Amino acid sequence: MSNETYQPLRLKDLAVNDRPQERLARLGAGSLSDTELLAMLIRSGQKGRNVVQLSQALIAEAGSLSGLTRWSETDFRKIKGIGPVKALQLLAVMEIARRVVAAERELTPILNRPELVFEHFRPLIADLIVEKFWTLCLSRKNRLIKLVEVTSGTATASLAHPREVYREAIAQGSTAIICVHNHPSGDPAPSTADIQVTRQLREAAKTVDIDLLDHVIIGSVKTDPLGLGYYSFREAGLI
C-alpha cells in the first residue's frame, strides 16, 4: 500500500483548457455551464473524481442546478466528497439564491393582464391633472424590467411617437412592452388619437421585433361607464 498522502483534485490541478476560472476571467460568468459554476464554489474534488465531475454528480442527483436550492445539509453530505464544511457553504449559497429570487419576484411584478397594470398604476396616477404616457419594458416572462415615462403634458397633447416608445425597450433588451397612458377626465374610453397611435405602435412593433402586448388607458372606476377604470386595446381586439 502506498504511503503517499492523497490530495483532492482541485481546480488548479485541471488542464488549463479545462479550468472554468480561466474562461470566467476571459469571457465572464455567462460563459460557464451550471456544472462549472458549481465547481467554482466547491473548489476541490475527491480521490478519483475531480471537482467538475463532483459538480456533475451533485446536479445529476438534484435533477438541476435549481434543484440544489431545495437541498438540506444532510442532502449535500450524502454526496461522497462533500464534507460538513463544504455542505454548509453550499447551503448558504443556495439560501442566498433563494432570497435573491424571492426579492426579485417581489420587486418585478408580472404584468400580463390589464387589471394588473391598472392596479400597478393606480397609486402613480392619483390626482394627476396632466396626461402621461409610459412604456412598460418587460422580460420574456412578462416581468417588469423598467417603467419609462415617455411623455407628459396636457390632456390635449399628442401621444408618444413610436420611436420614443421603443427606444428604451430596445436599450433594456425587452422582448415585449405594454403602453400605458392616463385620462385625467377619469373616462378611459379611447379617443380617435389614441386609436391612431395604437395602430402606429402595433406596426412599429413588427419592425423592431418587440411584442406590443397591450395599450392600457387608465381612468377612474367611478367615472368609467363600464366600472372597470381602464380600457385595454388587447381585450377590445384592437391589438
- Domain layout of the chain by residue ranges: 11-107, 114-232
In this prediction, residue 6 carries a pLDDT of 42
Report residue 207 as a C-alpha cell. 419592425
Contact indicator for 38, 21 with CB cutoff of 8 Å: no
Mean pLDDT, residues 22-38: 84
CATH for 11-107, among 1.10.1760, 1.10.3470, 2.40.160, 1.10.150? 1.10.150
Mean pLDDT, residues 30-40: 88
Q: Which residues pair with 177 in a beta bridge?
A: 137, 212
Q: Is the pLDDT of residue 104 over 70?
A: no
Residue identified by cell 367611478 is 222
Question: Which string of DSSP letters, residue by residue, matches 77-100?
Answer: HTSTT--HHHHHHHHHHHHHHHHH
Q: How confident is the model at residue 5 (pLDDT cuts 50, 70, 90)?
A: very low
Q: Is the pLDDT of residue 1 over 70?
A: no
pTM for the full predicted model: 0.57
In this prediction, residue 107 carries a pLDDT of 60
Mean pLDDT, residues 47-61: 88
Percentage of the chain exceeding pLDDT 70 = 85
In this prediction, residue 127 carries a pLDDT of 67
In this prediction, residue 32 carries a pLDDT of 84
Backbone torsions φ then ψ of 68, nearest 5 degrees: -70, -25
Q: Is the pLDDT of residue 16 over 90?
A: no
Measured CA to CA in angstroms, residue 88 lies from 84, 92, 154 at distances of: 6, 6, 59
Query: Could you give the CA distance from residue 111 to residue 151 in angstroms, rounded to a whole number?
Result: 21
Mean pLDDT, residues 187-206: 91
Reply yes or no on domain 114-232 having CATH 3.40.605.10.
Answer: no
